[in-house]
Structure 1
Amino acid sequence: MTTTVLAAGNHFIHPKLFADAVREAAGDAPLTVRELRFPWPHTPFGPVGEVVEASGSEDEMIDALRGVEVCVTEHGPLTERILAHSPDLKLFCTSRGGPVNVNLEAATAHGVTVCYAPGRNATATAEHTLTLLLAAARGVGDTHTDLRKGVWRGDYYDYDNCGIEIEGTTVGLVGYGAIGSRVARTLAAMGAHVLVHDPYVAPDALTGIARQVTLDELLSRSRIVSLHARVTEETKGMIGRDQIAAMPRGSVLVNCARGALLDYDAACDALESGQLAGAGFDVFPEEPLPAGSRLLTAPGVVLTPHIAGGSQQVAHKAARLAAAEVGRYLRGERPAHCANPGVLGEPKP
C-alpha cells in the first residue's frame, strides 16, 4: 500500500530536500510525496492558531494534508483545528530542536505521533557563538562600523580600548547541552579557563574541559559569559541588572540561545556605562528588532538576526533526521525522538 507524505519545506529547508531525504529513508517502501513551500524566512514565523513559531496558515495546511498519512516540515503548524480536518494523518515530523509548532496535547488526543530533531543545529550555533564571542571580545563591531564610514581610529590600540584574548581568560557558560559543550571544548582548546553552571550536567562530562560552579561564582569570575540555557519559568530573565553588575568591569556577554534569558535594557545600560566592554547577540526579546531599539546604537555590541542555527549543513541534517523517523515508521519501528510518547502507550520521560 502506498503511503502519502507531505514534504512541507520553506526557503531554508527546501521541500525537495525533505522529499529526497524521505525517499532515501523509505528504501523500497512505496511512497507518494507531495511538496509544499512555506514563506519563512522571507516572512517571519509567529503564532498560528494556538501554536508558536509556525509559518503558513491553518487553511493552507488543512488543504495540503488531505489524504496525507505522514508530514515532514520545519515550521508547518499542527493545531487542534488542523488535526480535526486531517483524519488520515498518523505521523508529524518537525525538523526543529523541539516541537514548538505543534499542539502536542491535541496531537496525542488525535492519535498522531509527533517527532522532532534534537541537535540538528548544535554545531552551527556553537560556531556562531564563538564568532560573536571573539568579535565582541576584540571590538570588531565598532571598528568595522567606523571603517565602513571611512574613519580610521588609532585609539582603538590604546590599552583601555584593546580587546582581550581567549587564552588564559576565564569564560563562563550558562548551560552545557549540545551547544554549550561544543563551545566549551573549543574554548578549552584555545587555552581558556572554562566554568559551567548547569544543574543537569553529569560531573564526568566536564572532566578535562570545564569546572561546574554556582551561577554567582561564574558571574563574579568570568570575563566572558555566554548563555546556553533553555527557557523555562526558572530561567526567564535569569541574567538581569544584578547579575551583570556582578561580572568584572569590562566583561563581555554573549547570547545565541533565547532572548527571554536576558534583560536587554540592563545590558544596554551596562554597555553604555562600560560595565560591559562588549556583547554579541543573535536573539532578542522582539524579532525583528524594532527601529528604535537601544541595541542598534549601544557601543561595543555585535548583532546578527537570529541566524546562529542556520547553515547549509543544518538544512541537510534536519531533513535527514526528520526523514529517518519516516523510515522507522514505515518499518514499524519505535521513533527515536518522540515528543508525545503517550500516543505510543508509553509514559512521558
Structure 2
Amino acid sequence: MTARPIYLDHQATTPLDERVLEAMLPYFTTEFGNPAGRHAYGHTAAAAVRTARRRVAELVGAEAEREIVFTSGATEANHLAIVGAALAVRPYGGHIVTTVIEHKAVLAACDRLAERHGYKVTRVGVDGFGRVDPAAVAAALTPNTVLVSVMHANNEIGTLQPLAAVAEELAGRGVLLHTDAAQSAGWGLLDVGVAGVDLVSLTAHKFYGPKGVGALYVRAGTPLLAQQTGGGQEHGLRAGTPNVPAIVGLGTAAHLVPCDTTPVPILRDRLQKRLLAALPGAVVNGHPEHRLGGNLSLTVPGLRAADLLARLPGVAASAGAACDADRGEPSHVLSAIGLSRAEAQATVRLSLGRTTTAGEVDRAAELLADAASRVRRPPP
C-alpha cells in the first residue's frame, strides 16, 4: 500500500481529533433530539449545546456563555459580524476600516456593504512582516467609521497582529473592533478581555474539530443585526435548527486546546533551519517573532510553487490560502508585504500541527530540498 504523504497543511484544515469524534458520535445516533424539544431527547441535546457554548466562551475568555453564537464556520461568522454590526449601527453611508491582508471572506463582506449600502471601505497597508501599524488604523478613522476589522493571525504568513494596541487607539471613539481569529483560536492566543475586541470569528476545523461549524463571539451590548432569520435560535442572531453533533465537536475541540502541549514551534524552527540550509536564497515570510507557531511561508527564488508541489507527492502542502488554490493569481497577502509576482508564485506554505512528528519534519525537509533541486532554475 502506498504511504500517505506527510501532512504539512494544517492551516488549510486540521485532522479531526479522535476524542472529538468520540464526543460527537452519540449525537448522530442515540442522542438525536432537537434542542428545542420539551422532552428528554430535547433536554439532552440542549444540555450538550450549553456545554459546548461554555467551552467556546472559556476558550476566548468571554464573560458569559450568551456571548457565543454558533455559525456554520468563520466565513459566516465574519459576514454576520461585519455586515450585521455595520447595518445595526448605520444602515447606509458609513465607513469601515480593515487591512489589505484580510481573508477574502472579510474583504467580501466589506465589499457587500460598499456595493449595497453605500459604505466606504479603507484598507490599511502593512509592513514587510505583514503587521499593521495601530496608528495607521487610527489615522484612517473618520466621523462615519462604525467598525474596524483586523485579523488576529494571517492565514498565509502566520503574522500576529497587535490587537490590544489597535483597541487602545479605538478607545472612546465609539468604533467596534472585530477580528477574524480562525487561524489563532486553536493556539489559545486570544483573550477577548486582554485584546479589547467586540467581535471574534472562529471555526472548528482549524483546531481539530469538524468542518462546517464555527462561532462568533459578540461582546454583551454590541449591536448586531441578524442576517439569517426565521426561528429565533442563537439569541435571535442566527435562525435554524442547531447542528448538535458539529456543535458538540466544536466545544470538545475548544476544550482540548489548553491541553495541547505538543512542541509545534520547535518542530517548525527545525524544518525552517533545514530548508534554509538546503535552499540557498530562500526567504521566510512573516514576522520572525509574532507568528503562529506552526507556520512557515517560504519563498524559493527560481521556481514556481505549483511545479514544486507537483513534484512532491510525499508531502501535502500548499502554495497559499486553500480558498485561492485554483485562482492562478499571485497572493494578495504576499503582494501586500512587497513580494513581486514571481516571488509570490515561488512561495510555498508549510504548516505544522499537533500530529506532526520530528521524523516527518526531517523527511519532509529532504523531499522538499530534492524536489526543489529538480525544478529550480538557476538565476540569469
Shorter-chain TM range is 0.3 to 0.5
TM-score with structure 2 length normalisation? 0.33
TM-score with structure 1 length normalisation? 0.35
Tell which structure's C-alpha radius of gyration is larger: 1
Q: Which has the higher helix share?
A: 2
Q: Which has the higher strand share?
A: 1
RCO comparison, higher one (Cα < 8 Å, 6+): 2
